[in-house]
Structures are given as structure tokens and as C-alpha cells.
């Protein structure tokens, strides 16, 4: 068997392995409360975001945008001590009826940044 025949499959495996490792190196949003697109009958008192890996709360954050496009005051981000992939952000004032947008950014423990947004409604 020639070196050329062995090298191609080994090279292909290395590429696949490297690609999989890179895909896991970012904190992706897995779930949130309120859920994206949710119609809430009671206004939430906090936002909870769950990521695919631990995040650095000091370098992560979110903005809550209200129905009038104004930024709604929120408290400081906290991580769950038992789950560094979860952040909890208290909402400082009760939300009124309307559509809200959450714009978030997260830095994973390995330094990679991700961002996104979603909406929910309060009736």
C-alpha cells in the first residue's frame, strides 16, 4: 500500500475531527425562558438562557427591548452555580402587554463569542 493511499483517508479524518471540534467550541443558545415566540399570560420576572457550554458572565450580556423600542432595565447577569451554561437576568420592572425582543451575546469559557435574538409576547 502506498503512502499516498494512506495519507488521503488520514487527512480526511483529521479535517472531519477538526471541524467537529470547532463546532463544539461556541456557546450556542439551546433554550430560553420565556421561549422564543411564547405568548405569556403573566409577565416573567427574569430571563433564563441555557447555552451548549459554560459562559463567562462578565463578558456576556443581553438587552431587553420593549414594545416602544425602548431598552427595559434588567439586573446583573448571574450564572447558576450548579450549571455554568445557564444565565439568569432579573427584570427590574413589571412588563406591560406587548412584544419584547431579547438581544443576547455570550462568550464561552474558551473565549468564543456568539450572539442572537428572539421575541416573546406578554398579553
Q: In this structure, is residue 19 part of a structural domain?
A: no
Task: Find the CATH number of the domain harbouring 68.
Answer: 2.60.40.1220
Q: Is the pLDDT of residue 20 over 90?
A: no
- How far is 114 from 29, CA to CA, in rounded Å? 9
Is 18 within the bounds of a domain?
no
Instruction: Find residue 58's DSSP bridge partners.
Output: none
Mean confidence (pLDDT) of the chain: 87
CB atoms within 10 A of CB 112: 14
Within-domain flag for 114? yes
Q: What is the mean pLDDT of residues 21-46?
A: 88
With vertex at residue 106, the alpha carbon angle to CA 96 and CA 23, rounded to the nearest 5 degrees, is 130
Provide, rounded to the nearest whole percent, the portion of the chain with pLDDT above 90: 76
Tell me, yes or no, whether 58 lies in a domain: yes
The structural domain count of the chain equals 1
Domain assignment present for 80: yes
Q: Is residue 44 part of a domain?
A: yes
User: What span, in angstroms and rounded, lies between the C-alpha atoms of 32 and 21?
Assistant: 25
Residue 72 cell numbers, joined: 427595559
Residue 15 lies in a domain: no
45-101 pLDDT tens trace: 999 999 999 999 999 999 999 999 999 999 999 998 899 999 999 999 999 999 999
pTM, rounded to two decimals: 0.78
More confident residue, 112 or 19: 112
Look at residue 25 in the predicted model and tell me its pLDDT.
64
Q: Which domain holds residue 70?
A: 26-122
- The answer as to whether 99 is a domain residue is yes
Amino acid at each position: 500500500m502506498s503512502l499516498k493511499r494512506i495519507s488521503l483517508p488520514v487527512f480526511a479524518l483529521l479535517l472531519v475531527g477538526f471541524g467537529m471540534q470547532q463546532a463544539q467550541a461556541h456557546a450556542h443558545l439551546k433554550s430560553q425562558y420565556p421561549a422564543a415566540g411564547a405568548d405569556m399570560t403573566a409577565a416573567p420576572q427574569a430571563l433564563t438562557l441555557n447555552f451548549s457550554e459554560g459562559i463567562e458572565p462578565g463578558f456576556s450580556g443581553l438587552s431587553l427591548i420593549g414594545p416602544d423600542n425602548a431598552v427595559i432595565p434588567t439586573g446583573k447577569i448571574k450564572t447558576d452555580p450548579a450549571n455554568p451554561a445557564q444565565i439568569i437576568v432579573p427584570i427590574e420592572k413589571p412588563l406591560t402587554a406587548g412584544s419584547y425582543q431579547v438581544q443576547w451575546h455570550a462568550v464561552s469559557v474558551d473565549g468564543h463569542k456568539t450572539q442572537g435574538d428572539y421575541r416573546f409576547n406578554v398579553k
